[in-house]
Copies of this chain bind each other. A is one copy, B any other.
Amino acid sequence: MTSPTAPLPDPHTLLAPAKAEARAGAEEGGVPIGAALFDLDGTLLGRGRNRRVQDDDPIMHAETAAFRNAGRRPHYRDTVMVTTLSPCWYCSGLVRQFGIGRLVIGEATTFSGGHDWLAEAGVDVTILDDADCTALMETFIRERPALWFEDIGTPADEH
């Protein structure tokens, strides 16, 4: 196992499968957010995308889908969560509870969740300001606002 202090593989490279998941979600008419879990050597453990629409399932955010697809592990200290969008509180809680040590975020412009809270708790956070990720979310929020606000639990009178 690589030391937790070793340099990460290039974060833009790690972002690629998460972006592919987000694009696939957009093509399916879903919420276009993707994620992937890696070990510190850059080996892909699991990837997934938000499946609210596809599976009619409100708990399948991108990060939880990737985490589930990685299977059961005794701990996650030596893993990296990569997501196209700043993780909401639900997915930030996942990262914190399971002690995921590093977090790579495509963009935090269209939505900002709990990444500052995670950084304060010791998680190594990298935000890439990836233009493709931002464009996917901007288009989605403009075209399907009700679905977006449902996905983050925001009542209509708070939009």
The residues of A with any CB-CB pair to B shorter than 8 Å are 52, 56-59, 64, 67-68, 71-77, 88-94, 96-99, 113-114, 146, 149-150, 152-156
Q: Given A93-B114, A94-B93, is A99 in contact with B154 using a C-beta cutoff of 8 Å? A: yes
Candidate in A91, A98, A114 with the most chain B CB atoms within 10 angstroms: A98
8 smallest beta-carbon distances between A and B, as pairs: A93-B93, A98-B153, A89-B97, A75-B155, A90-B97, A89-B93, A89-B96, A90-B93
Task: State the copy count for this chain.
Answer: 2
Measured CA separation A77–B157 after assembly (Å): 12
In the complex, what's the smallest C-beta–C-beta distance from A99 to chain B, in angstroms? Answer: 5
In the complex, what residue of chain B is closest to A55 when comparing beta carbons?
Answer: B68
- Give bound CA distance, A33 to B156, whole Å: 33
List 7 additional contacts besides A58-B72, A90-B93; criterion CB under 8 Å.
Answer: A57-B68, A75-B150, A89-B93, A89-B96, A90-B96, A90-B98, A97-B113
Asked if B71 and A156 sit within 8 Å, CB to CB, the answer is: no
- A64 CB contacts on chain B under 8 angstroms: 59, 64
- The residue in chain B whose Cβ has the minimal distance to the Cβ of A70 is B58
